Amino acid sequence: MDEPRSKAPSRELLLANHVFPGEYIVKAFGPGTDDFRGAIRSAAVVVVGEERASFTERASRHGAKVCITLTLNAETVDEVIDVYERIHTVGTLALIL
């Protein structure tokens, strides 16, 4: 049986392109609902804590969709991978960058 595929960029790719500890940005796109916003915020805060995560958002013209930009002050590559994995469990996630 195949191993489940990770939802995060590979550890090697992350380490080749980022220095840890350091700032890492993730963008999550989905519906402009409080539930979506809360789920994305929770996915980051549970891993790095409130003090090491900041959030900005940009809504579509009519507010139906939103892009949430998470800026993580990640201590390790494992924290970034964990945040990606948790964001992918949000059922209404449309896209993650």
Q: Is 95 exposed, middle or buried (0-12, 13-18, 19+ CB in 10 A)?
A: exposed
Q: Quick one: pLDDT at residue 5?
A: 57
| Prediction pTM value | 0.88
Locus of tokens 């990606």 = 84
Q: Quick one: pLDDT at residue 7?
A: 82
Alpha-carbon gap, residue 47 to 72, rounded angstroms:
10
CATH of the domain at 43: 3.30.70.260
Count of the separate structural domains present in the chain:
1
Tell me the residue range of the domain where 66 lies.
23-96
Q: Quick one: pLDDT at residue 6?
A: 63
Digitized pLDDT (tens) for each residue of the chain, 97 residues in all:
444 556 888 899 999 999 999 999 999 999 999 999 999 999 999 999 999 999 999 999 998 999 999 999 999 999 999 999 999 999 999 999 9
Order across the sheet with 53-59: list the strands. 53-59, 65-74, 22-31, 95-96
